[in-house]
Structure 1
């Protein structure tokens, strides 16, 4: 097993983005142009940010749909007016730092058509966003002219295709992406629509591809992009064996979690030369910030300490797995879960218990990522009972914090509000923690 994966160093809390910083992150253009009162008004509302990956046929992530919701808004609803949409866009850019949350991928934002008439959309970075609008927007030549104008300016526009006929006669002039929805149309009807769209050379995206069979069926029609949860539950095989190199990492993880003697941990490392190399590369990386070079395993273990070491090992357990592109999205999701669950715990729990919540989140997708049943994976790790209960049974004192992280992940605002009330956690602070966790996971992956 090759240990060429070196997780990016963990930032200490002093270096992590604060809630104040999260509220003032902005794009220079938007900050200098947007009306201050509009931004102030938008910040009074609690907003939620969620992402869903958009893949190509090889399961490589090319974009994310950016889901922005206000308190009380149903997950399916877009902002109801141009004014509300503009306010959400400004708030997303200035409060959440949407570009950072997307990394180097495009962000697809669903808008009511009338929002395209607002000048606020022209504040968006052209190279970062795809603006999706409904077919109903194209009610007159005026709207078609507006779309043509935005395309000429370099914006990406996605047209939600719902029926055939005259609406497809000039589709290339009003969009460079077309969106189909398996939740609204069957594949046969979509294929019929696509025969009229395909000659125009637009990028064709199919949404709500939620099973592997749906994905395979859609690929037969050679669509360009696919969005949905088809990758989220890879097949797990009861007899899958964990390779010896990963078993060794799990064993060392157990030693560190149980705070074994440094000499015992050092001895365990020395049984794997490649693992020793990875540890020394990690401790000597620029991000750790040491002024001298560490050359012994014992010193590396002592300098990192138990907490930093088990965090590093928890990610290293995934290293070397032959992950598909879609499974790498799952890994990113697991890291976000771990960090968010930990940040939520820090608001109410003692430090040691909050640290344990990181493990709950990170290992919650271990079955899907490693291809073994979750019970088998957890048994090998020998985790404390309260951690195992939270992961496999959603029970115990850690479970509500994990459930709250999942509510943010799925953009379930009703559940998030209820859990925040039960845990006596400020809803706005929890929302900021979610964005901080997304950014942190992106940093770890670099």
Structure 2
């Protein structure tokens, strides 16, 4: 058996109560700069969290934000997971095309919650706003006024806006007053880890077994 290390960071609401956790890959097994490596890292996080450690031991009763690559989405990996416990976080590196739009629409129609990571308003990503649920804004990525203008532009959509990389109480108050409802950043907590022991498994096969685990008729 090998050691498991799963990173997690709190996501808080406007009352600074824990709303969810983002799960983060911590390890050296995969090259996260490569497409296949990032996809395998997501599969490992899923199997480590749900099958090895147990989701409740990692996030309690809260939801888990899990990063998904284009490959994960096209393989429909999220459909193997409990829709009431996870948030599908679409990485900013995903190239949005008709196949991705179709896959995300299907997930949304199935009742999964979709979050768009490091969102920037563009012709590529704008169509996703029609069925996404959460938009994550990196509040340090652009000048403050640009971020505030983007928040205003997003208000007509039926979305929850999450401000990430919030580093001070002043930033928290500023973006809360601007309309953000969820918050993530070093002001609240730095990522910490949950550890366990892993039995070697084929990640994709194990993820697919979750379909049976989550079938109420089994």
Would the alpha carbon gap of residues 58 and 134 (structure 1) be closer, same or farther in structure 2, given more than 3 Å must change? same
Identify the match of residue 432 of structure 1 among 189, 196, 200: 196
The answer to whether the Cα contact below 8 Å between 2:31 and 2:37 also exists between their aligned partners in 1 is no
Residues in 1 aligned to 2:29 and 2:140: alpha-carbon distance in whole angstroms? 23
Structure 1 runs not aligned, ≥5 long: 1-43, 233-405, 412-429, 434-446
SS of equivalent to 1:190: helix
Shift of 1:77: 10
1:63 is the counterpart of 2:26: no
Would the alpha carbon gap of residues 184 and 96 (structure 1) be closer, same or farther in structure 2, given more than 3 Å must change? farther
More helix by share: 1
The answer to whether the Cα contact below 8 Å between 2:12 and 2:18 also exists between their aligned partners in 1 is yes
Would the alpha carbon gap of residues 50 and 99 (structure 1) be closer, same or farther in structure 2, given more than 3 Å must change? same
* 1:259 counterpart residue number: none
* 2:105 counterpart residue number: 148
* 1:172 counterpart residue number: 129
Would the alpha carbon gap of residues 186 and 114 (structure 1) be closer, same or farther in structure 2, given more than 3 Å must change? farther
The answer to whether the Cα contact below 8 Å between 1:209 and 1:229 also exists between their aligned partners in 2 is yes
Would the alpha carbon gap of residues 194 and 77 (structure 1) be closer, same or farther in structure 2, given more than 3 Å must change? farther
Identify the match of residue 196 of structure 1 among 125, 138, 153: 153
The answer to whether the Cα contact below 8 Å between 1:63 and 1:108 also exists between their aligned partners in 2 is yes
* 1:109 counterpart residue number: 66
Residues in 1 aligned to 2:125 and 2:68: alpha-carbon distance in whole angstroms? 20
* 1:125 counterpart residue number: 82
* 2:206 counterpart residue number: none
SS of equivalent to 1:82: helix
Shift of 1:129: 0.5
Give the alignment's TM-score, normalised by structure 1.
0.40
Shift of 1:155: 0.9
More relative contact order, 1 or 2 (CA 8 Å, 6+ apart): 2
* 1:264 counterpart residue number: none
* 2:50 counterpart residue number: 93
The answer to whether the Cα contact below 8 Å between 2:84 and 2:112 also exists between their aligned partners in 1 is yes
Identify the match of residue 117 of structure 2 among 148, 160, 176: 160
Would the alpha carbon gap of residues 226 and 201 (structure 1) be closer, same or farther in structure 2, given more than 3 Å must change? same
* 1:419 counterpart residue number: none
RMSD across aligned C-alpha pairs, in angstroms?
Answer: 3.0
Shift of 1:79: 7.6
The answer to whether the Cα contact below 8 Å between 2:22 and 2:65 also exists between their aligned partners in 1 is yes
**Alignment of structure 1 residues 313-352 onto 2, 5 Å:** none
The answer to whether the Cα contact below 8 Å between 1:62 and 1:105 also exists between their aligned partners in 2 is yes
Would the alpha carbon gap of residues 154 and 220 (structure 1) be closer, same or farther in structure 2, given more than 3 Å must change? same
Would the alpha carbon gap of residues 136 and 78 (structure 1) be closer, same or farther in structure 2, given more than 3 Å must change? closer
Residues in 2 aligned to 1:59 and 1:77: alpha-carbon distance in whole angstroms? 36
Shift of 1:75: 10
* 1:229 counterpart residue number: 186
The answer to whether the Cα contact below 8 Å between 1:68 and 1:92 also exists between their aligned partners in 2 is no
The answer to whether the Cα contact below 8 Å between 2:38 and 2:69 also exists between their aligned partners in 1 is yes
More strand by share: 2
